[in-house]
Structure 1
Amino acid sequence: MTTQVPSIIRKILSVLNLHDDQEIDHFLFPRLERLPSPMLMKGMKEAVELFLEETGRESEIIVWGDYDVDGTTGTALLVNFFRELGIEPHWHIPNRLTDGYGLNSHTFNEIRSRLFPDKQFLLITVDCGISNFQEICDILAIGGKAIVTDHHQLPIGELPGCITLNPNQEGCGFKDQKLAGVGVAFYFAAAIRSALEKDGYFKNGTKPNMKDYLGFVALGTIADLVEITAVNRILVRAGMESLPNSGIPGLRALVESAGLQGQSIATEDISFLLGPRINAAGRLGKADVAVQLMTSDNNIVGAKLSKQLESFNEQRKKICEQNLETALTEISKRTDSKSYSIVVTGKFHVGIIGIVASRLVEMYGKPAIVFARSDSGNTTTLLKGSGRSIPGVNLLDCLHSCSTTILKYGGHAMAAGLTVEEGALGDFLSGFDRAVELQILNTKHSQYLDSNVIECSMDEVMDKNALEYLQRLEPFGPENEQPVFVDSLASVVSCRAIGDSGRHLQLTLRGKYENYRGVAFGLGKMRNDILQNPVRKISFTPMMNRFRGVVEWQLRVTDI
C-alpha cells in the first residue's frame, strides 16, 4: 500500500519522522484494534466496580459536565450510553456566564433536593472536577459517591478524595496520550460495556456499538485543540468516519443541520461548522440546549434544537465581530511591537473571549489572551481571561511560570482560562511575555513552523491521488498540523474582492493543465497589488468547497 504514496505525501510524512513502511501504514490507516485497553487507565477498575455497585443498588446517577464542546459531547456520550443500558441518568451543565467552571456545591444541593432528596446517588464529572477538592468533600460528606473523569492538568493542591480518571496521574497507562475529556468518558463507557459483557449482561440483548460513540470523541477532541497523539488519531479518525451516517439520532440532526449528512467529514468541518454550533450555546450560557440535541431521539425535536443552535451561532458571530473590532482598535493604539504575545483587556463578552483570542493568534501569529473586565461594584476588579497559543509554545507552562500574579488558572498546552486581579495585571503582562519569549527561544519555534511548510507546485498538491492521501493525513491538530504548501511561481489569472467591505479575495490561479479556484480570507487589501504583479509566491492549503451537494477542491490562500 505504501508504494502508492505520492512523493509530496512522503515529504510530509518525513517531516513527521515517519519513514518505515509499517509506521506509515499505521499512520495512514489507523485501526480500532490498535487501541490500548481501558483498564490501563489508572482508577478504571475501581471506577467500573463502583458504577456497577451503585447501579445495582438503583442509586441515582448524575452526570456533571463542562459547558464547552469537550464537556457537552462527553456528557451526551455518557447519557446516551447509560440510556442504552436501561439507566436514565440526570445531567447538568453549568451556565458559563453565571455559574463559572466546574462543580458548584450550592447548585448541586439545589438539584439534589429537587430531584432525589432522599436517595443514594453517584456523581460522575466530565471534563471537570480535578480541581474541585472541596466540592467533592462536600458531596462525600452527605453520603454521596463520586467519580471524577477529567483531562486537565492536576492541581498543585490536593486531588479530589474519590475515584479519579485522569490520564495525567502518575502511573496511568494513558499519561502520554493526552486524551480529551470526552476521550476519558469514552474509555469509561467502553470499560463498563466490557465488564457487563463478561457478566453476561447482553446475552439476551444487543450490546452498545462503541463506534457510534466515537462521533462525540471526534467533535470534542478537535474542538478542544487537544494534541493528535497515536490514540487520539485512531479515536478521532473513526469518529469522523461515523459522523456522516451516525447511529446517534442527536448527532445525525447536528450533521444534517450543517448540510454534511452522507458526506466525507474533514477536520475543518468540525472546526468551522459543527464545533461552533455546539460551542455557541455554551458561550451564550445555554449549553444545555446542545446536550438536549445530542441526547434527543426524536427527529422533530432534534430539528428544532438544531435550528436553535444555528440561531445561537449567528448571535455568537455578531458579538464576536464586535468584540474583535474592539480588540483590534486597542491593539492599533500600541507603539510597542516587540512583544512576544498579545494581551487585550476590555468590556468583552466573557463567553466570546476565547474565540477572539483565537482570531488574534491567527492574525498576529503570537499567543494571545483576552481579558473581560467586569464592573461588579467590588473594590477589587477581577479580569476573566481566555488564552490560545501557537504550535511549539505551551500556554499552560507559561502560566505556571507567572502563577504568583494569577488568582486561578487551568487548561492545557493550546488553550487556557485564568482570573487576574486588575491591580496585578502589569506584573502578569511582563511575566507572561517573558515566559513566551523563553519558550520560543528554547523550543526553536521558528524551526517548527518551517518544518510544516512544503515547497511544491499547485499541480502536485491538487493531483487527485495526492488529495486522496492528504485526507488520510487527517485529523489535523496540535502535533499533526495541517501542512502548508508554498508555490513560488503562482500565476493569478483573476482576482476580485468579496465579503463585507471587500475583506476577502476570490482568485483564479493558473495550473499546468487546468486553473484552480481559490479564496484568500482577510487579504482583500492586496487586490490592487496582485493585479499589478500577478506572478507571486503563495502559501496555501487545499480545501473542500461544498455547494448544493457538489464537492469541489479549491485553494485556501493564506499568504500571497
Structure 2
Amino acid sequence: MQDELPELIKKIFAKKNITDDQEIFRFLHPKLETLPHPLKMKGMQQAVECIVKGVEEGDDIVIWGDYDVDGTTATSLLVNFFRKLGIEPYWHIPNRLTDGYGLNTEVFEQLKSTHSIDNFLLITVDCGISNSKEVAEILELGGKVIVTDHHQLPLGDLPGCVILNPNQDGCDFASEKLAGVGVAFYLAAAVRSELEKHGYFRENEKPNLKDYLGFVALGTVSDLVEITETNRILVRAGMEALPNSSIPGLRYLLESAGLYGSLLTSEDIGFSIGPRINAAGRLGTADVAVELMTCDNHTSGSDLAKKLESYNERRKSICSDNLETALTLIQRGNLAEKSAIVVAGDFHPGVIGIVASKIVDVYRKPTVVFAEEGENESTSYKGSGRSVEGIDLLGCLHNCSHLLGKYGGHAMAAGLSIAANNIKSFREEMSRHVELEKMNILQGAQGNTLNIECNLDEVMSGNAIDYLMKLEPFGPENEKPIFTDPKAQVISCKAIGGLGQHLQLIVRGKYTNYRAIGFGLGERISEVKKQPERSITFTPMMNRFRGSVEWQLRIIEI
C-alpha cells in the first residue's frame, strides 16, 4: 500500500503515527459498513421502542431543535425522515435573539395549543440535556420526551424521559464524539431497522439512509466537532452525497452557493454552505433554514434559498462592522498581548461567534467575544468563544466557572454569559488557564503537528492533491496538513480587502506559478516586497470564481 503513495503523503501518515498498510487503507477509503451499530448507544433501544409505539398509535411527533447549523440540519434530517415514513411532524427552532437556547415550556405550550396537539412525542435535537426543569414541565402536559444531544451533561438527571447522549456514563459511543446531527442520524437508522422488523415497509417506502448523510456532513463540520473515525466515515459519505443530493432543499442550498454538482471540501462547508444556514439563525429566523432544507417544491425552494442568501449578505455586513470594531478595541486595549483574547462591546449577539472565529484567524489565540445585553454595570453579557487546536476551550471555562453565569459547548467552541464586573477578572483567569494548556502541549503533543517541510511543487502536483482530497474531511483531530517551503520566491504581492488586511501573491514554482492568499497578513506587504525570497507556511485551497475552479495556496505565515 505505502509503495503506491507519494512521499509527501507517507510523511503525513508518519506524522499521524499511522504506519500499518491496513490502517492507511481504512483511512483513505472509509466504509459505511464499518460504522458502530446504533444499539450500542445508551438509551437507543428505549428511544426506538418509544418512537415505534408512537408511530403505531398515531402520536403527534414534535421535533425541537437548536438555531445553529448542527441543530437545524438535525431537525431537517428528522423532518425529512418522518415524512418519508408518511408522518408529518411538527417542528420548532427557537429564536436566538428572543427565546435563547434549548427548551422553553411557554413556547411549547403555545405550539401545542396552536396545532391542537394532544398525545405528543417530543424529540429534542442538539439541545435539551440542560433543561431538566422544562422537561419535567412538558411531561406534565401528558406526552413523552426523548432528548437527543451531544453537549456535556450537567449535574443531576433529566426526569422521566429517554436520553440519547454519547457523553452519558456507560455509553459505548462516548469516544465517537458525534455532533447533534450525528446522534439524530443514528436514531433514524435504528428506527428504520425496528420498523422493518415490524413489517412497516411492506406498505410504505423505506427511507434510504444515505440520503440524510449530507445533513450529517453539514452539521458536523460546521459545529467544529472532532473528526473521529466514525465522524470521518459519516462526513466523508455525506460530502460525496451532497453535490448531487436527492433531497430538494439541499439541492437548492448548494445551488445558491454555486456548489451543486461540484467536488466539495470541508472548507466549502465551513466557509460557504454552513454560514448560509447559520445566517438565518444569527438574525433570529433559523426557521427559514429548516423550511428550505425540508421543502419539496421547486418554486418555494428557490424563493427560500434567495431569502437565505439575503440573510447571509446582511449577516456579512453586520459581521464586517462588528469585526472592525472588535479589532479596534483589541488594538487600543493591547488585548492581544494576553494568551487568550477577551473583548466586550456593543456587538450583534447573533454574529459574535463568527467574529471570534475571525479574530482567531488573525491572532491565532483562543478568543471570547461578549455582546452587551443592557446598559448598567449589573447587566450580564452574552459571549461566544472559539479556540485553536490543542486548547480545550470548555475545560478552560470550567476553571473560570466561578466568574460565569451559564456556559456550555465543547473543546473548540462555546457559549457563555457573564456579569459586566467580572469581565476583567475573567480575562486574566482565562489567559492563565490557556497558558497552562499551552505548556501541556509543549510538553506532550507539539511533535504531532502536521507541518511538513517541502517545496511548493511537491504539494501542488495533481497526484498529491488527489491524495490530500482523500484525507478529507478535515477538522479537529484530523487537522488539514500544512507545509513549509523555506525558499519560496514571491513574484508579486498586493494588499486587498476593505482595510487592506489580506495579502494576495503570486509565488514561483518550478514549472508554473501559483496564486496565493494570506488572510490577515496584509500588514506584511512592505517586508515581503523588500525581501521576496522567503519561507512560507501554506496549505492548498480550492478557489472558486465565476464558475471556474483552481487550486491556490492559502498562506498561513510568511
Alignment match, 1:404 = 402
C-alpha distance in 2, partners of 1:389/1:34? 31
C-alpha distance in 2, partners of 1:468/1:225? 24
Alignment match, 1:176 = 175
1:213-228 equivalences under 5 Å are 213-228=212-227
1:10 aligns with 2:7: no
Alignment match, 1:37 = 37
Alignment match, 1:495 = 493
| Aligned residues: CA RMSD | 1.6
Q: Which runs of 5+ in 2 are unaligned?
A: none
1:449 positional shift: 7.7
User: Which deviations, in whole Å up to 9, do the C-alpha atoms of 1:200-259 show, x marking residues without a partner?
Assistant: 222344311111100000000000000000000000000000000001100011011111
- In the superposition, the TM-score normalised over structure 1's length comes to 0.97
Preserved CA contact (<8 Å) 2:280 2:312: yes
1:445 positional shift: 7.9
Alignment match, 1:424 = 422
Q: Decide which of 464, 479, 482 is 2:480's aligned counterpart.
A: 482
Preserved CA contact (<8 Å) 1:2 1:25: no
Moved more, 284-293 or 488-497: 488-497
Preserved CA contact (<8 Å) 1:133 1:161: no
Preserved CA contact (<8 Å) 1:543 1:555: yes
1:250-329 equivalences under 5 Å are 250-329=249-328
C-alpha distance in 2, partners of 1:510/1:446? 37
SS in structure 1 of the partner of residue 494 of structure 2: strand
SS in structure 2 of the partner of residue 460 of structure 1: helix
Alignment match, 2:528 = 530
Q: Decide which of 538, 544, 548 is 1:540's aligned counterpart.
A: 538
C-alpha distance in 2, partners of 1:98/1:407? 18
1:360-379 equivalences under 5 Å are 360-375=359-374
C-alpha distance in 1, partners of 2:159/2:313? 39
Preserved CA contact (<8 Å) 2:2 2:10: no
Alignment match, 1:135 = 134
Moved more, 312-321 or 508-517: 508-517
**Structure 1 pair 73/159, CA: closer, same or farther in 2 (3 Å)?**
same
Alignment match, 1:73 = 73
Q: Decide which of 455, 475, 478 is 1:457's aligned counterpart.
A: 455
Alignment match, 2:125 = 126
Alignment match, 1:55 = 55
C-alpha distance in 1, partners of 2:374/2:226? 36
User: Which deviations, in whole Å up to 9, do the C-alpha atoms of 1:341-398 show, x marking residues without a partner?
Assistant: 0001111110011111111111111111011111267x73011111111111111111
The amino acid that maps onto 1:93 is I
SS in structure 1 of the partner of residue 200 of structure 2: coil
User: Which deviations, in whole Å up to 9, do the C-alpha atoms of 1:290-321 show, x marking residues without a partner?
Assistant: 00000000111111111111111111111111
Preserved CA contact (<8 Å) 2:59 2:120: yes
SS in structure 2 of the partner of residue 100 of structure 1: coil
SS in structure 1 of the partner of residue 484 of structure 2: strand
Preserved CA contact (<8 Å) 1:458 1:487: yes
The amino acid that maps onto 1:356 is V
1:105-254 equivalences under 5 Å are 105-117=105-117, 119-254=118-253
1:452 positional shift: 2.1
1:518 aligns with 2:509: no
The amino acid that maps onto 1:540 is F
SS in structure 1 of the partner of residue 495 of structure 2: strand
Q: How many residues align?
A: 558
1:90-101 equivalences under 5 Å are 90-101=90-101
Aligned-pair identity in percent equals 60
Preserved CA contact (<8 Å) 2:15 2:448: no
- In the superposition, the TM-score normalised over structure 2's length comes to 0.97
The amino acid that maps onto 1:78 is L
**Structure 1 pair 183/532, CA: closer, same or farther in 2 (3 Å)?**
same
User: Which deviations, in whole Å up to 9, do the C-alpha atoms of 1:32-88 show, x marking residues without a partner?
Assistant: 001010000000000000011112111111100000000000000000000000000
**Structure 1 pair 417/449, CA: closer, same or farther in 2 (3 Å)?**
farther
Q: Which runs of 5+ in 1 are unaligned?
A: none
